[in-house]
Structure 1
Amino acid sequence: MDKLDFPESPLQQIRAPELDTAGVSLQIKRDDLLHPTIQGNKWRKLKYNLKAMALENKRSLITFSGPFSNHLYATAMACKQFKIQGHAVIRGPELDLNNPTIRLARACGMVLHAVSRKEYRQRNEPDYLAQIAQQFPDAFVIPEGGSNQFALAGCKELAQSLPDSDYVCCAVGSGGTLAGMLDGLAPERQLLGVAVLKGAQYLHDEVLRLNPQAATRANWQLLCDHHDGGYGKFSAPLWQFCLRMRREHALPLEPIYTGKLMFALWQLIEQGYFSHGSRIIAIHSGGLQGLDGLRYRGLI
């Protein structure tokens, strides 16, 4: 087996009176259990980036992230496991060395380069990326969040691993997971993306940019009214819902991505959004390390 091919993650059946009343079934694709240290959509996105890096004979990688990022965590873990020298440009201007995500990345051997917010905003600009390529000539460049053409192949595999259903639902931050999964789903299966940030309508265009075939597919939809205040923000009811799902269903959630997805899904089910008999699969995209950052900041 290729060292980058992990066994598939399991499915968890959720049983609850609300589901019985609505006449729907709900399964969770537990991609948080995909691997002991590198999980979820961040690994799905990294997998084919690392294969492309090997094909280009690059010995290191460089990426971009916020200081509490799931992408930083997963990339650091992957660099440690596969003995890759990793660099990350961190939105700064300074590193908080007590931040648990930063501590983990440094422990894995990542070299972290803190930059000002002004410089960080240039992370997708061609001129800035050309400077990065000149500064790190042997490094393979992976964008913030990992969403690029290589990432789509890994997310397509995720979709292809799923059993038959009527709906597949995922959280949407950058659009990469949804764009890639769309290629792996049959046209009669509906793909619902729950945007986790405010004013996320622009993500529709981002999905089309990442996957132009999305323009010809009518089986996907972006739901933009379940951000619960904006990216990184969450309400007390959402956090209580996360705690309830862990308590009643042994389903761990964090309130930035997976919690918003499940909270939205639960509300839609109770509102009768899904027709009787619908089979729903929700993607648990990992990111549970984010709970440490929320605790560190005193937010939970």
Structure 2
Amino acid sequence: MTAFEPPQIASVVQLAEPLFLVQGVSVYMLRLEQTDTVLSGNKPFKLFPNLEMARLTGHTTVLSFGGAWSNHIHALAEAGRRFGFKTIGVIRGDDGMPLTQTLTFAQNCGMTLLRVSREDYRRRHTSELIDSLRHNHGDFYLIPEGGANLLGVAGCRKLAPLIQRSLEGRHVDDVVLACGTGTTLAGLVSGLHQSMGSAMPHVRGIAVLKGAGFLKTDIKIWLERLDTPYVADSWTLETDYHWGGYGRCPPALMQFMRDFECKHGIALDPVYTAKMVSAVFQRIEQGLVEPGKQILLIHTGGLQGR
């Protein structure tokens, strides 16, 4: 991987399950979590275009937001260390809270951690808070929480050719991924439409937060801003597989994750990928997937927060 260039290919494995055989469905997984030791999954696709813009605009400091176990903060800290940027992470939570493994890693990468109250964190989109941060810490290039901006979405378009190269000519009907902000889904839909037009596979996002219907509007806006023409039934956001809300990991989900890992030797994370894989199992079990369908699951990483 060269500077600011995301991976070009990833391994694809077929998941053998009696359920899939009985229902006549083939399920594959794109192993994006294997593409780098730290900057893996969907993170380089969202981060690298922003870092390239930071460098082009003469910024040496990059600031972003996240929680105590944020995959985004973890990846940004490593990217800063690797590519020579000073990084600042604005972290939701009080100063008295102990450092998590994620934040310890970020600090060891050289990231400056700024704890803010939950109330202040909710103001992260306001010019008032951003101006205050610039006044106190100097100028910086701002990346929104999760890398959710137009550059991040555009960067995720590069997932489309990666998928096509990785499949090596195999056909898939559906591509499924976990969704927190909709950034990756929007970029993937745009990229697949760009390269395949109406022949593109259906993209199905599994929302990992409760009440995620608003993401549908966000995704539509991203697609409009990328000048992606509307293609009927090209994507769906499923909002019923969140297991109680973002970060909620009930015992049944944890057991599913352990059973899957034991059988397939593939680690999942309980916040994103376990919910995505579980949703696919549920949909097949409920007869919501037609026999003969070929489904590709995208492993978007996030294993550092396990």
TM over 0.5: yes
Tell me how far apart the structure 2 counterparts of residues 214 and 134 of structure 1 sit (CA, whole Å). Answer: 38
**What residue in structure 1 maps to residue 120 of structure 2?**
119
**What residue in structure 1 maps to residue 219 of structure 2?**
207
Q: Check 1:98–1:130 CA distance in 2 against 1; reply closer, same or farther (3 A cut).
A: closer
**What residue in structure 2 maps to residue 266 of structure 1?**
281
Tell me how far apart the structure 1 counterparts of residues 100 and 65 of structure 2 sit (CA, whole Å). Answer: 17
Per the TM alignment, residue 215 of structure 1 is displaced from its structure 2 partner at its CA by 7.5
Deviations 1:20-62 (Å, cap 9, x if unpaired)? 1111111111111111111111222101111111111111100
Amino acid at match of 1:51: E
**What residue in structure 2 maps to residue 295 of structure 1?**
none
Amino acid at match of 1:286: G
Following TM superposition, the consecutive aligned residue runs of length 4 or more in structure 1 with deviations greater than 6 angstroms are: none
Amino acid at match of 2:204: L
Unmatched tracts of structure 1, length 5 or more: 292-300
Tell me how far apart the structure 1 counterparts of residues 8 and 160 of structure 2 sit (CA, whole Å). Answer: 15
CA RMSD of aligned residues (A): 1.7
Tell me how far apart the structure 1 counterparts of residues 11 and 54 of structure 2 sit (CA, whole Å). Answer: 29
Per the TM alignment, residue 7 of structure 1 is displaced from its structure 2 partner at its CA by 4.6
Tell me how far apart the structure 2 counterparts of residues 66 and 235 of structure 1 sit (CA, whole Å). Answer: 20
Per the TM alignment, residue 153 of structure 1 is displaced from its structure 2 partner at its CA by 2.3
Tell me how far apart the structure 1 counterparts of residues 243 and 275 of structure 2 sit (CA, whole Å). Answer: 7
Tell which deviates more after alignment, 29-38 or 160-169. 160-169
**What residue in structure 2 maps to residue 239 of structure 1?**
254
**What residue in structure 2 maps to residue 296 of structure 1?**
none
Per the TM alignment, residue 214 of structure 1 is displaced from its structure 2 partner at its CA by 6.3
Per the TM alignment, residue 137 of structure 1 is displaced from its structure 2 partner at its CA by 4.5
Tell me how far apart the structure 2 counterparts of residues 65 and 20 of structure 1 sit (CA, whole Å). Answer: 41
So what's the TM-score if we normalise by structure 2? Answer: 0.90
**What residue in structure 2 maps to residue 159 of structure 1?**
160
**What residue in structure 2 maps to residue 190 of structure 1?**
202
Deviations 1:179-219 (Å, cap 9, x if unpaired)? 11111123341110100011111111111232225672321
Amino acid at match of 1:200: A
Tell me how far apart the structure 1 counterparts of residues 275 and 229 of structure 2 sit (CA, whole Å). Answer: 26
Asked if 2 retains the 8 angstrom alpha-carbon contact of 1:234 and 1:255, the reply is yes
Instruction: Spell out the pairing of 1:141-156 with structure 2 (5 A cutoff).
Output: 141-156=142-157
Per the TM alignment, residue 288 of structure 1 is displaced from its structure 2 partner at its CA by 0.5
* Identical amino acids, percent of aligned pairs: 36
Tell me how far apart the structure 2 counterparts of residues 37 and 202 of structure 1 sit (CA, whole Å). Answer: 31
| Correspondence 1:216 to 2:227 | no
**What residue in structure 1 maps to residue 26 of structure 2?**
25
| Correspondence 1:279 to 2:294 | yes
Asked if 2 retains the 8 angstrom alpha-carbon contact of 1:96 and 1:102, the reply is no
**What residue in structure 1 maps to residue 41 of structure 2?**
40
Instruction: Spell out the pairing of 1:42-61 with structure 2 (5 A cutoff).
Output: 42-61=43-62
Deviations 1:132-184 (Å, cap 9, x if unpaired)? 34445431100001111111122111122113411001101011011111111
Per the TM alignment, residue 127 of structure 1 is displaced from its structure 2 partner at its CA by 3.4
**Number of corresponding residues:** 291
**What residue in structure 2 maps to residue 78 of structure 1?**
79
Unmatched tracts of structure 2, length 5 or more: none
So what's the TM-score if we normalise by structure 1? Answer: 0.92
